[in-house]
Structure 1
């Protein structure tokens, strides 16, 4: 459960139920159980139930929402879910021996909707759809979200959906306005939603790289970071970009409550995969990808030396690549010598 997933779960647990409906607690599971227990402690057992394992989530919930770190983890979790459901279905088979009669007489299995909100490769979304669709009464919705953690905190995420219409309608009713402000529906092809998300991230990442370069050049030209930040607010008044610019202006690269550097590298790699697939070069993304890797290499070296100031870097730390190339300290602008103009 990353930071955005945490806020999504918290807000969803406090959703408003229709008059006369019995509010149900949200059942949560995380590979690091302490994160799920933290949420339960914050909100109480009336709103949050901590599942003992992923099998409990799969077998007892009608809507399963996943928000995971990367493609490998997403694939692993969905394959586990499918295995648990296949076992359940086989136990319900009328061809089984008499000891399964009780299970055969149980109520029919309800429809289950799997909602994947991570940023993943489009082809993986297609694979998940095929995997889930082979299971009886199961549907898959591709549902990536746009927004930084502070946006998720305020339940203002932009939600993208693709998949079976009725399932999308049910999920949209759950997520808006509890988790997000709006749904963009991209039809039934589940690969369209993650493609759309990567297109959006390419715009954001490209803009962050340009802003990082502007801060670096401004530093060398003797223009204060605060002045550059004000200019960004005037000519690029997008809240998300202004938030990233503010981090760079303050040398605040703490990724604990932001978008991690590793997440940025993963997304940049996914975008570059699409550019190669469709022969559509994006040179700025290539540069940004290099900057992100440079920042990670510097941070890794600092960890080995024991000199790092942060455990997890935000992806705005990509500015380190631009700063080092210009002969400046990677993460601390205040360590740089002041610019002295010649008379």
Structure 2
């Protein structure tokens, strides 16, 4: 396939590299430039929209709005192009994107991903895909390169974005759960490694607990996913809950705690630093 990439952060670069290595023709645009082996850098976003598909991996709603909508670039896409939106965005903006793509005559698949940069580098992301079945099938060769599994979440693209926001909400809850459990156990003489080994070997052996317990055990919070981005995703979950007229008390609590973590100066650390903030009593 002839694939465009917009956004070459840690995740986008890994995706672009894997697609090029798999034999696809990849052209990428990035606001701050960059270089990825096997990938041709183009000077404008419009040039990235001239292939069979374009994959966007931008930071948030505002970045996508600026690059694709406010600029009018979407209307310059090659006829038949399919846009694969891999970013974590709000459900409300996802609905707006559906309308904007329909107006521009551009096919659209929402495909946010689960996985950190190391998972993206291995091509083992979980892809949450929603859109017209024919469009998903058309970009499946792309998705199969960047992901280990494609989860079909229906024909309405915003469903995939709601699922992604919900997943990130649950990861944040798991981080806070470990922080609160360790605050309790360490105060009563149970070693951190000892308790984490216990929970991983009994009740909580899921990937989120495995990945983030390792950070907490070592006290190493070099960012894989920054706390400030985690706070953004919890805001998106809060907005989605309010729009659905649902009361989510656990979300309110973890959103407040992540806010405190960022305000304490840990925003550029991995979001699992929220557990350390809790263990230390907010110090």
Q: Which runs of 5+ in 1 are unaligned?
A: 16-22, 90-108, 301-310, 331-343
Q: For residues 111-126 of structure 1, what are the structure 2 equivalents within 5 Å?
A: 111-126=80-95
1:85 and 1:278 mapped to 2: Cα distance? 29
Match of 1:222 in 2: 189
2:24 and 2:57 mapped to 1: Cα distance? 21
Match of 1:205 in 2: 172
2:135 aligned residue (167, 173, 180): 167
Q: For residues 178-257 of structure 1, what are the structure 2 equivalents within 5 Å?
A: 178-234=145-201, 235-255=203-223
CA contact (8 A) 2:74 2:101 kept: no
- Secondary structure of the 1:163 match is coil
CA contact (8 A) 1:202 1:268 kept: yes
2:248 aligned residue (267, 272, 282): 282
Offset, 1:278: 2.4
Match of 1:131 in 2: 100
Q: How many residues align?
A: 275
Offset, 1:150: 2.3
Match of 1:259 in 2: 225
2:189 and 2:64 mapped to 1: Cα distance? 46
Match of 1:75 in 2: 65
1:8 and 1:212 mapped to 2: Cα distance? 32
- Taking structure 1 as reference, are residues 325 and 48 closer, same or farther at Cα in structure 2, changes over 3 Å only? same
CA contact (8 A) 1:64 1:115 kept: yes
2:251 and 2:204 mapped to 1: Cα distance? 19
Offset, 1:74: 1.6
CA contact (8 A) 1:291 1:319 kept: no
2:182 and 2:136 mapped to 1: Cα distance? 42
Offset, 1:227: 0.9
Match of 1:50 in 2: 41
TM-score normalised according to structure 1 size: 0.75
CA contact (8 A) 1:78 1:128 kept: no
Question: Larger radius of gyration, structure 1 or 2?
Answer: 1
CA contact (8 A) 2:129 2:151 kept: yes
- Taking structure 1 as reference, are residues 155 and 232 closer, same or farther at Cα in structure 2, changes over 3 Å only? farther
Match of 2:4 in 1: none
Query: Could you report, residue by residue, the CA deviation over 1:209-266 in whole angstroms, capped at 9, with x for unpaired residues?
Result: 10111122222222221112212321211123211011011111111xx011111001
Q: Which runs of 5+ in 2 are unaligned?
A: 1-7
Q: Runs of 4+ in structure 1 displaced over 6 angstroms? A: none
Offset, 1:194: 0.5
1:53 and 1:202 mapped to 2: Cα distance? 34
Aligned: 1:8 with 2:15 = yes
1:128 and 1:274 mapped to 2: Cα distance? 16
CA contact (8 A) 2:165 2:233 kept: yes
2:268 and 2:47 mapped to 1: Cα distance? 31
Offset, 1:325: 2.8
CA contact (8 A) 1:232 1:245 kept: no
